[in-house]
C-alpha cells in the first residue's frame, strides 16, 4: 500500500494524487489532536495512541505500507503543522526502548518492516538553506522509522508535483 500524508486542499487531492485500491490518503480536514507526549502508546496501550480519533492507529498503518509519501508545504525547512502532527501521532510505530545504531541512540523497531519514504515539499520561496534542513529532516525520519529514502523533491507549487508522485 502507498500511504500518502498531505496538507493539500480537497481539490488538489482530487487533481494531483493517485487514487486506487492500493493507496491510502490522509489529508487535513476535521481536527487532529496533537500528541500530548504521555507515552501511552508505548506503555498503557502499546502501538495504539490513547487519543481515540482517526489518527490513533498511525503506527499500525505505517507497519502496513510499502511506501510513505509526504506532501507538505515547506515551513522553515520542515513539514507543515498538519503533516508534522500526523508524524508525531505515528510514534507508536517504534518502541520506547533504545538501541545504538550507526553510533547514535535510536528507538528500537516495533515491527519487522521496511518501506520507502518520499517527501515532496512545495512553496514559492524555499531557500537553499531550507532545502538542506528539509533533506536532513527526511534523512533523520528515515533512520527513526527504519525506512529507505526514495525521493526528496522541491517545487514552487503543489500542482507541479502531480506528475512526480
26: exposed, middle or buried (C-beta count within 10 Å: 0-12, 13-18, 19+)? middle
Instruction: Quote the pLDDT of residue 104.
Output: 92
Calculate the CA 91 to chain-centre distance. Answer: 10
| Pair 72, 80: CB distance under 8 Å | yes
Residue 96 located in a structural domain: yes
Name the residue among 135, 143, 126, 147 with its Cα closest to residue 65. Answer: 147
Domain encompassing residue 13: 2-28+39-163
- The answer to whether residue 94 sits within a structural domain is yes
Total structural domains within the chain: 1
Residue 33 lies in a domain: no
In this structure, is residue 123 part of a structural domain? yes
| Distance in angstroms (rounded) separating the CA atoms of residues 152 and 141 | 12
Residue 74 resides in a domain: yes
In-domain check, residue 34: no
In a domain, 105, yes or no: yes
| Mean pLDDT (10-residue bins), the chain, 165 residues | 96 91 91 92 90 91 97 98 96 93 91 96 97 98 96 95 83
- CATH number of the CATH domain containing 73: 3.40.50.360
Amino acid at each position: 500500500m502507498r500511504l500518502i500524508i498531505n496538507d493539500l486542499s480537497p481539490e488538489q487531492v482530487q487533481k494531483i494524487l493517485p487514487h486506487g485500491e492500493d493507496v491510502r490518503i490522509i489529508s487535513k480536514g476535521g481536527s487532529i489532536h496533537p500528541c500530548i507526549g504521555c507515552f501511552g502508546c508505548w506503555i498503557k496501550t502499546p502501538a495504539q495512541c490513547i487519543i481515540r480519533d482517526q489518527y490513533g492507529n498511525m503506527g499500525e498503518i505505517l507497519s502496513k505500507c510499502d511506501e510513505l509519501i509526504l506532501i507538505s508545504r515547506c515551513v522553515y525547512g520542515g513539514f507543515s503543522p498538519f503533516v508534522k502532527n500526523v508524524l508525531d501521532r505515528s510514534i507508536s510505530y517504534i518502541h520506547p526502548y533504545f538501541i545504538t545504531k550507526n553510533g547514535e541512540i535510536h528507538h528500537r523497531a516495533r515491527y519487522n518492516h521496511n518501506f520507502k519514504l518520499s517527501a515532496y515539499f512545495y512553496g514559492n520561496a524555499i531557500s537553499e538553506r531550507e532545502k538542506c534542513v528539509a533533506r536532513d529532516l527526511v534523512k533523520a525520519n528515515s533512520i527513526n522509522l527504519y525506512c529507505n529514502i526514495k525521493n526528496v523533491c522541491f517545487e514552487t507549487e503543489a500542482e507541479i508535483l502531480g506528475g512526480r508522485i
